[in-house]
Structure 1
Amino acid sequence: MHFIPEDLDEYVMTHSEDEPELLQQLSRETYQKILQPRMLSGHYQGRLLSMISKLVNPKNILEIGTYTGYSALCLAEGMQKNGELDTIDINEELFDFQRKYFDKSEYGHQIFQHVGNALEIIPTLDKVYDLVFIDADKENYSNYFEAIVNKLNAGGIILSDNVLWSGKVLETKFKKDDTSTPALIEYNKLLKEDHRVETVLLPIRDGLTISRKL
């Protein structure tokens, strides 16, 4: 979804950092072989994730929602040399695809995959994190926040993707089977009102929130 005219959006991409070759390969193969390739972070957002990670310079990163591994590799670019990235996804069929690209990168030995329910896995991770990226099932965003906020260092960053949900967060009536929109509305409200974090919502692509733990 574009919140600015497409020609201006193209200008923005053209004048941002180039997409690394490995990520170009990952993106191509995702579009060729994997269902719902629009779930991929993609060139522009990937460079944004990379830049934020480099500014934070995290030792430990947690990602909720791996998909094909694109965003994990972007986040890993800012990780400390002795750092670790834990990434969780419920779809075990993507495990080998992710691992192939992780191992092609220089960060492969620092990236640890976890398959299953993130709300069950997070309590088993004996780490404190500096950077968290939430990009999984929208219905559980608030639950993910509660699960990870006490595992986040003071000054640590939570990035939350798709928080504008194609503009649906402005709606007041929802389809019966739409559980994602009201959940995201509630999540955005939570981030605004929770005194443990300070938050800025960026109208980038489908919406990206940056929350800093106080």
Structure 2
Amino acid sequence: MKTLIIGIGGMTNGGKTTLSKALLERLPNSCVMAQDAFFKDDSLVPVDSHGFKQYDMLSALHMDRMMEEVEAWRQDPRAFMASRRGAGHLLPPAVDQQVFVLIIEGFLIFNYRPLNELMNRRYFLQIPYKTCKQRRSSRVYTPPDPQGYFDRHVWPMYLKNRQEMEEMVEDLVLLDGLSERDELLSSVLRDVTADIEALRQR
């Protein structure tokens, strides 16, 4: 059984989920795992000196649980997808080419070394500060963002996390989150489909 792990990272509201879902729809034997699903309970997330919850840090996430899920997929992708309704889609066994794709999306997936080291492809969506702030303000979060949260916590943490990420990752492909969705999808699909075909030929 052959596997491929694709990382779709990026800043908040940069288009990670949209791109990941589009890939899911077009790649057979694929499933998506979102880092946001592994946030700790709000009561466990620390508060900084400004009273802001520190969500933009690895310590706010159950990365151990996420790694357990990734490992479960690596051990048996078909069983993993079959046991988690809605996790992905499978081709019928008769035409299955035995190449399974895991799409991991999240804002800190490349900052966690054990996870980062498992990835075959790494993409990072970026958008300008103004666009990011505008998109963030149009979304409803639970709990909601307090006044000044974006400028005093979210953006500074993004810059910090990005610097750390760039020091860890050498083959990161930067994507312009303002590009047309079809253009972004096509560029990633070209890489991934080539990788899948190469695996099939082995």
TM-score, structure 2 as length reference: 0.36
Larger-Rg structure: 2
TM-score, structure 1 as length reference: 0.35
Larger relative contact order, structure 1 or 2 (CA cutoff 8 Å, min sep 6): 2
